[in-house]
Amino acid sequence: MGHSVAGKLRLFLCFAATIWLFAASGRAVADDLMSVPWQISADRIIRFGKSDCVVAEGNVVLQHVETVGAAPLVIKADWLRYEVKAGRIKARGNLELHSGNDVLVAESAKFDLNSQTGFLTMTTMRFSESDWHFIGQEVEKTGELTYHFKNGRVTTCPGVEGGKPVWSINASDVYLNTADQAFLKHVSLRVRDVPILYIPYLVIPVSRQSGFLVPEISQSERDGTGFMAPFFLNLSPSFDATFYPGILSKRGVTAGAEFRYAAAEHSQGTIAVNYQYDTTTDTAEDEYKSDGYLRTDHDRYWLRAKADHDFGNGLKAGLDLDMVSDPDYLQEFRKGVIGFDMSNDEFLSTHNRGFQEESIPFRESTIRLGKTAASMFLGGELRAVDDERDEPSATTTLHALPRLVFNGRAEVPKIPVPCSLEWDSEYLFYWRDEGIGEHRLDIHPGLVVSIPVDFIEGTISTGIRETMYRVEVFGDSSVHNWSNDKSQFRRVWDFEMDLATTLARDFSINLGSVRRFNHKFRPRFVYSYMTSTDQDDLPYLDALDRIELQNWLTYGIDNYFRVGGLRGDDNYDRNFGYFKVSQAYSIQEARRSSDGVGDNRRPFSNILFELEFYPLERLKIAYETAWSVHGKGVTFYNFETEYSGREGRRLSIDYRYNRVPWVDEPYFFTDDSAESMHELNMEIEAALTKLFSVKGDLAHSFSNDRLVEASVHVIYHPACWSMEVLAAKTPDDFRIGMIFSLAGLGKVMEFDF
């Protein structure tokens, strides 16, 4: 019995020592494991004696602590077995591998920590930067940053139905480098696990690394079948490029390239070029747009760029480049990944400015440099115009090479009333291949005095404008003859008094949620006077070359409205709209001598009415019109309404009628020979159900009695992908198409029927 007691005592002491060892450790291993590069913590850690095998259970975290220059690898699991000396692990249950913001989730794993190789089952790899998901049942970890997915799936939108994504790119083999790219073999694009496209090889960049992007496939009657395989090249953290090799079966080889850089928050640039070797030409029987222009060139291109650079201390530079091969190119190739529409949207989003409309044949390019400091601005630009019209002309397009401006304002000291000296100055050199050009120096200094009366808002300003000319003749002087003096001079004087006052009152009302209504009543009065001189001997290249006598009054009443009240427990105050009425009276017209019967003086301008109000916070209704006091009736009116609701609902109606071209006040005087304009533009977007939406647009010219453009789009958009069916009509084409888009990738296929 003593032997039995001694044995039991030894067993109890061994068990107690074991309990003490691991109870004392809590979330840490024994002291002799603290020096290894991998440290482990868990709710429970089991190790017997001096064994190098550790079993951890519950909230297990195994972390590499000697990582230098990279995010440490962290392994999390419910259960993990760690062979310390051999550096091998087995893990299962909520298994996760974290490296920076990238996460790998698996069912189980076993691999060597020293070489970081091994095998995982039921694996999904997520990338934070690109939103790519790599999925595989059996995955081999071939290195610290490399994996091999056998029969893998790649998607940006993993599904939940049966574990299958809504759409995916399936491949027999996926070789993934988490710091670079993924190489896929025997690739099929699948929607709801139905294959719709096969590609032998595909390279996908991850974390902004180089590789092929998802190709674009298109089909149209005019261009045939199109295929484009974009390739992204990451050159540095601040510089990348994308190349677009492709082909159109009815057109020939097409290609594009785009280069982007970002040196700082306000210093970035983009340059892009499209090239199309067009095997077709225009004929009288098959002429694009039927506008009389027959294209015969096969080499077609579009070169564009925008850049901004902030040198600091108020010095900024800018670049806008826009050159195209022919007038039809941008209109023919509006769609697609390198088409005008998408490129214009991308430049507008990145640089806050897009391009001129695709139908404009004059493509302007400028380089700018400016310095702003202490209420002054000094800047210059070079502006060149690419004229794509194929029309013979004795004179060619004007280019500003250069244009320099110096503007500023300085307070005048020791004056009892607020007074400032303001100046605008410009030097401009107009150059052209053939025709008359000019050097023009225009200096306009003036004084601006504020009226020091409490209830009057107003200023009085006066100035002198000095303009000096030097005329240049370019090209054949026998064709472009200048008989006047080449050196010319002009001086005019101007005066303006701008007066207004504001009266305001709040009204208490009880209408729905509205509890208060504010009305501001602002009458205003402007007197403008400018001398004139004989300008017949001056060149006439832009509006500044002709300054007309001004001696008129402009008067009007502005009304502004705001509403406020309670919406639930919250107070609100918002703009409700405005209503304005204005007219001008020409003193020089009233004093003009009549030439006889039929020559009636018309000193009063049209009366301008402007109305804009928001009956609902998201609903805008605007209307403006001008009425002639000389018996001409309504000379123009514009009606515009726009509603932007939640869930993508939007309605826009724009109806315009101009009997004469409209220009800013006070030039309201009618020109009966001017060309009229009468048109209607409509856009609508609405969600029919959670899965279906519709949008459409209409542009109709009543002046020419023709439909400019009309289209209807029906969109099916379940989670992560969409299919769009469209019908579009223009004077030159009728199109029925289908577009497939994938979340995270955008449009991937487009077909016309």
Q: Which amino acid is at 307?
A: A
Measured CA angle at 636 (ends 633, 637), to 5 deg = 115
pLDDT at residue 726, rounded to an integer = 87
Nearest to 215 by CA among 194, 244, 193, 191: 244
Distance CA 235, CA 86 (A): 40
pLDDT at residue 499, rounded to an integer = 95
CB of 363 closer than 8 Å to CB of 335: no
Measured CA angle at 605 (ends 603, 608), to 5 deg = 160
The residues facing 724 across adjacent strands are 715, 739
Nearest to 200 by CA among 243, 230, 232, 171: 171
**How is 154-198 classified by DSSP, letter by letter?**
EESS---STT--SEEEEEEEEEEETTSEEEEEEEEEEETTEEEEE
Question: In this structure, what is the dihedral angle of CA atoms 138, 141, 146, 148, given to the nearest 10 degrees?
Answer: -30
pLDDT at residue 22, rounded to an integer = 38
Q: Omega before 72 cis (within 30°)?
A: no
- Locate the domains of the chain by residue range: 24-225, 683-753
SS3 string, 224-250, reads: EEEEECCEEEEEECCEEEEEEEEEECC
Nearest to 577 by CA among 587, 591, 563, 589: 563
pLDDT at residue 25, rounded to an integer = 40
pLDDT at residue 670, rounded to an integer = 43
pLDDT in tens, 436-483: 999 999 999 999 999 888 888 999 999 999 999 999 999 887 788 888
CB of 368 closer than 8 Å to CB of 380: yes
**How is 291-337 classified by DSSP, letter by letter?**
SS-----SEEEEEEEEEEEEEETTEEEEEEEEEESSTTHHHHT-SST
CB of 30 closer than 8 Å to CB of 23: no
Half-sphere exposure of 181 (CA within 13 A, CB side): 16
pLDDT at residue 638, rounded to an integer = 92
pLDDT at residue 16, rounded to an integer = 40
Nearest to 400 by CA among 361, 427, 369, 420: 427
Distance CA 651, CA 491 (A): 51
Which residues have a Cβ under 8 Å from the Cβ of 19 and sit 6 or more positions away?
none
Cα dihedral across residues 211, 217, 218, 219: positive or negative: positive
Measured CA angle at 716 (ends 712, 721), to 5 deg = 125
Q: Which residues of the chain have pLDDT under 50?
A: 1-3, 5-32, 34, 68-69, 161, 661-674
pLDDT at residue 570, rounded to an integer = 84
CB of 246 closer than 8 Å to CB of 227: yes
pLDDT in tens, 138-171: 899 888 888 999 998 888 777 654 556 677 889 9
Q: How far is CA 257 from CA 128, 260, 274, 278, in A?
A: 27, 10, 7, 18
pLDDT at residue 669, rounded to an integer = 45
CB of 723 closer than 8 Å to CB of 731: no
Q: How far is CA 364 from CA 321, 324, 385, 386, 398, in A?
A: 7, 10, 4, 6, 11
Burial class (CB in 10 A: 0-12, 13-18, 19+), 355: buried
The tokens of 449 are what? Answer: 């005095």
Q: Indicate the SS3 state at residue 359.
A: coil
Of 3.40.630.30, 2.130.10.10, 2.60.450.10, 3.40.50.300, the CATH number of 24-225 is 2.60.450.10
DSSP state of 433: S
pLDDT at residue 467, rounded to an integer = 96
pLDDT at residue 502, rounded to an integer = 94
The tokens of 673 are what? Answer: 């020979």
pLDDT at residue 182, rounded to an integer = 83
